[in-house]
Amino acid sequence: MKKTLIAAAVMAASGVAFAASNVTLYGVIEEGVVVSKAKHKDTMVDLKAGFDSGNRWGIKGVEDLGNGYSVGFILEQGFTADNGDEGVEGKAFNRESILYVNGGFGSLAFGRTGGLAFAQSQNIRTGWVFGTGYGSSAWNAIDFVAKRMNNVVSYATPVFSGFSVHAMYSNSGSNELANDDKKWSENGHYYGIGVKYNANNILSSLIFEAAQNKNVVAPGNSNAKYGINYGLEWSLGAITPMFGYQYVWQDGGNKDHQFGLSAKAPVAGGTVKVGARYTFGKNDGAAANEEDKHNAWLIGAAYEYPLSKRTIVKSYAGYADGGKAWKNEGTTAYNGYQVYLGLCHSF
């Protein structure tokens, strides 16, 4: 109730009027210390904002239109708690800016949001306990087809026996900073289709994505990029095991497979998360005298302990080791370790 009243005051102070609807101000602030050591580099000790949960604040609301219909919005801004910088320069709501309508037909949304396999409200990716957080354990070692995009149209069907179908299109494509005011055939484009199942203690999804990178910034790879993501989570009560698979390919670029086994379980009033991931692939863009194959494995573990309903202490340790072209790659995502201790507060 307090957050709703605060949001009302914020909107009133800014001259925004609204009818009877449920409007909420919310956010997440996470700060911590990371000790990391990448191969051939010095040991680093950093104050890190958003190591797991990205720092954000937002306003969301929904209004009941009657007869099973409702309209809602999400306006979410990311920032860096260390220095207050905005996540993407020049964007007032860089994480998400979306308007949606729900009804018997399903849900239809418009605006800026993340891809089906990335993050934000339209994301349906499953199968990896660390999600896109926890540093090197994030599910982006081989990157995504697309992350956040402008000019998105997203549709989800009603749920039938636990199944729902999700479709998404964007004419800004994977390059969110590109000018997308050219004619349709010259813009970047993103297409996504996925199926989600959530019933009988099982959460699963299968997603196919494609991005035409016509507006990529030179000298980047402008060829189309494709990806498949499959995830499975099975709640067994005391423990939830998970399996994740990802395949991303691009002509003149990388063709990568990624497998992940992970789980979470309640322990001593908190939650333990553990995961192991293996990535391997080939770079079609490698020079004639360069190694074109690569691989890496990673193990990670985290413990989250709630101090209250809104404040959590988080700890994490992860280690990665790469081979072939990644054997001497100087990042903790492929070679090295990370240790983290932080505090996360939600409001």
Q: Which range of residues forms the domain containing residue 129?
A: 2-346
Block residue for tokens 């100087």: 330
Point out which residues pair with 227 in neighbouring strands: 209, 248
Q: Distance between CA 28 and CA 26 in Å, rounded?
A: 7
User: Does 285 score more than 80 pLDDT?
Assistant: yes
Mean pLDDT of 50-73: 96
CATH code at 53?
2.40.160.10
Q: Yes or no: say if 289 and 257 are a contact pair by the CB < 8 Å rule.
A: no
User: Does 11 score more than 70 pLDDT?
Assistant: no
Q: Name 326's Cβ contacts closer than 8 Å, sequence gap at least 6.
A: 294, 295, 296, 334, 335
Domains contained in the chain, number? 1
pLDDT score at 114 = 95
Q: Yes or no: say if 320 and 296 are a contact pair by the CB < 8 Å rule.
A: yes
User: Could you count the other beta carbons within 10 Å of the beta carbon of residue 299?
Assistant: 15
Dihedral angle sign, alpha carbons of residues 130, 136, 140, 141:
negative
> pLDDT higher for 253 or 182?
253
pLDDT score at 19 = 46
User: Does 133 score more than 60 pLDDT?
Assistant: yes
As a three-state string, the secondary structure of 193-236 is EEEEEEECCEEEEEEEEEEECCCCCCCCCCCCEEEEEEEEEECC
Q: Name 88's Cβ contacts closer than 8 Å, sequence gap at least 6.
A: 78, 94, 176, 177
Give DSSP secondary structure letters for 48-59.
EE-SSSPPEEEE
pTM of structure: 0.90
Nearest to 35 by CA among 137, 108, 124, 135: 135
The per-residue pLDDT for range 226-261, each reduced to its tens digit, is 999 999 999 999 999 999 999 999 999 999 999 999
- Burial class of 308 by CB neighbour count within 10 A (0 to 12, 13 to 18, 19+): exposed
Beta strands in the chain (DSSP E): 22-38, 43-49, 56-66, 69-78, 96-103, 106-114, 148-156, 163-170, 189-199, 202-212, 225-234, 240-250, 254-267, 270-283, 293-306, 311-324, 336-346
pLDDT score at 271 = 98
Four-point Cα dihedral 120, 246, 48, 90, nearest 10: -50
Sorting pLDDT into bands at 50, 70 and 90, what band is 178? low
User: Does 13 score more than 60 pLDDT?
Assistant: no
Among 134-138, 145-149, 180-184, the minimum mean pLDDT is found in: 180-184
